Amino acid sequence: MTVEDPDSGTDAQGADPGEDPLALRLEGLILGAERRYTPFQAARSAGVSMELASRFWRAMGFADIGQAKALTEADVLALRRLAGLVEAGLLSEAMAVQVARSTGQTTARLAEWQIDSFLEGLTEPPEPGMTRTEVTYPIVELLLPELEEFLVYVWRRQLAASAGRVVQAADDEEMVDRRLAVGFADLVGFTRLTRRMEEEELGELVEAFETTAADLVAANGGRLIKTLGDEVLYAADDAGVAAEIALRLIETMAHDETMPELRVGMAFGTVTTRMGDVFGTTVNLASRLTSIAPKDAVLVDTAFAEELIRTQDAPSSEAEAAEEAAAAEKEGEEPPAYRFGLQPMWQRPVRGLGVVEPWLLTRRDLG
């Protein structure tokens, strides 16, 4: 016999009478603990104020639950750990909230993807007459420890890579405001496609685009910042790396008849990084260049072009490259092997950024 909790309207196990029993069983399996605490009780057990506990909870992306008995021992431990970092002086309170928010936002998207694209396929009833609910629990039970271990592994790998970039920064300011190459890749005519294609087809196209872009960015040494359906944002420490990624994206998509044309805009300069995202004039300029880029073409700003010239990835002009080649041939030497070509385009006003001079980036024939 269950005992009604007069404060929460739930039974002694924390279950709302209207909640699905399987959903509660899955929650218990995934969290590894049963509901025991109201938010007030959890905050008190963790030794933190209710105000701070609410800030952490909301930052992680969870809705207010009033005083329902819905929290577990794991929730108390998480509150205690975050508060302990603040008390020890390792994090400020504002930074602890940021940690909660960044972790919550990242893992929320991961969890949604796993349920929508992964778990649904695995829990299709294997035999006629079986319901999905009958196979969901054992599948989750088998997958959970493996997925958890893999998540921690990938997180440690990413943390190591990010920490390596930070310690190589020239100074403390560069750790926050860094000089990066930023690129936007955008599918042309995507809005028209949304009106012509079925939802499932559109979803498959977006997934194929995001997967291809993510693979190319990672394989060539860039970092995928975020995907926005028909657009991806990436960054690289080196302009040459960013340029190679942009051209490979164009070349790869051009060979896929199912994909619309692509255009890429890139800029090089100081970028503010925050919670895994990038901000600033450089990012805005890259976005504007994308909007004016021709189909299946890459536009870069002057700073990006100058960086490629400085690193000898591109000549300052094709005339100079021809002169260098002729001089090298005369001396019996190999001419400079420039990877990219740059063609200045007409100057034009760009909303909010004044007049800019785009450069068309191409791949040079090294043969």
- For 183-239, what is each residue's pLDDT tens digit? 999 998 877 777 777 777 777 888 888 889 999 999 999 999 988 878 999 999 999
Other Cβ atoms less than 10 A from the Cβ of 128: the count is: 5
**Token pair 């990672």: residue:** 218
Distances in Å between the Cα of 241 and the Cα atoms of 45, 217, 223, 237 are 51, 9, 10, 8
- Round to whole Å and give the CA distance between 284 and 177: 15
- Round to whole Å and give the CA distance between 192 and 190: 5
The string of pLDDT tens digits covering residues 350-363 is 777 788 889 999 99
- Round to whole Å and give the CA distance between 37 and 8: 10
- Round to whole Å and give the CA distance between 126 and 302: 58
The string of pLDDT tens digits covering residues 148-189 is 899 999 989 988 887 876 676 555 555 556 789 999 999 988
The string of pLDDT tens digits covering residues 124-138 is 666 666 666 677 778
**Token pair 């041939």: residue:** 329
